[in-house]
Amino acid sequence: MTNKEMLTKRRDESTKAYLLQSIMRNGGWINAHIHADRAFTINREGFDVYQKQSLMEKWDTVDRLKAAMSVDDYYRHFSMAAERMIEQGVTAMGSFVDVDPVCEDRALKGALKAREVYRNDITIKLINQTLKGVIDPVARYWFDRGAAGVDIIGGLPRRDERDFGPGFGLKHLDILMETAKAQGKMVHVHVDQFNSDDERETEQLTDKTIEHGMQGRVVAIHSISITAHGAEYRQALYRKMKEAGMMVIACPFAWIDSPRREDRGPTRNSLTPVDEFSAYGIPVAIGTDNVSDYMLPFSDGDMWEELKLLITGCRYTDLDNVVRVATENGRKVLGLTVH
Q: Which residues bind Zn ion (CB under 5 A)?
A: 289
- Calpha distance 193→138 (Å, rounded): 26
Give least dist CB 306 to Zn ion, A. Answer: 13
110, 56 contact by CB (below 8 A) = no
Give least dist CB 142 to Zn ion, A. Answer: 18
Give least dist CB 60 to Zn ion, A. Answer: 20
Give least dist CB 61 to Zn ion, A. Answer: 18
Torsion 91-94-96-97 (CA) sign: positive
Q: Which residue is nearest to Zn ion (CB)?
A: 289
- Alpha carbons within 13 A on the beta-carbon side of 310: 31
What are the φ/ψ torsions at residue 141 (nearest 5 degrees)? Answer: -55, -45
DSSP per residue, 12-74: HTSHHHHHHHHHHHTT-EEEEEE-GGGTT---HHHHHHHHH--HHHHHHHHHHHHHH--HHHH
Q: Where are the alpha helices (DSSP H) in 87-200?
A: 106-117, 137-149, 157-164, 168-183
**Which CB atom, from 99 or from 323, has the smaller least distance to Zn ion?**
99
Give least dist CB 190 to Zn ion, A. Answer: 6
**Which CB atom, from 289 or from 306, has the smaller least distance to Zn ion?**
289
What letter does residue 225 receive in the DSSP assignment? G
**Which CB atom, from 192 or from 289, has the smaller least distance to Zn ion?**
289
**Which CB atom, from 20 or from 285, has the smaller least distance to Zn ion?**
285
- Calpha distance 314→198 (Å, rounded): 22
Give least dist CB 34 to Zn ion, A. Answer: 8
- Calpha distance 325→185 (Å, rounded): 22
Give least dist CB 290 to Zn ion, A. Answer: 7
**Which CB atom, from 202 or from 321, has the smaller least distance to Zn ion?**
202
- Calpha distance 16→241 (Å, rounded): 31
**Which CB atom, from 275 or from 289, has the smaller least distance to Zn ion?**
289
**Which CB atom, from 130 or from 321, has the smaller least distance to Zn ion?**
130
Question: In this structure, which amino acid lies at residue 49?
Answer: V
Q: Is 291 exposed, middle or buried (0-12, 13-18, 19+ CB in 10 A)?
A: buried
Give least dist CB 223 to Zn ion, A. Answer: 12
**Which CB atom, from 98 or from 289, has the smaller least distance to Zn ion?**
289
- Calpha distance 61→178 (Å, rounded): 33
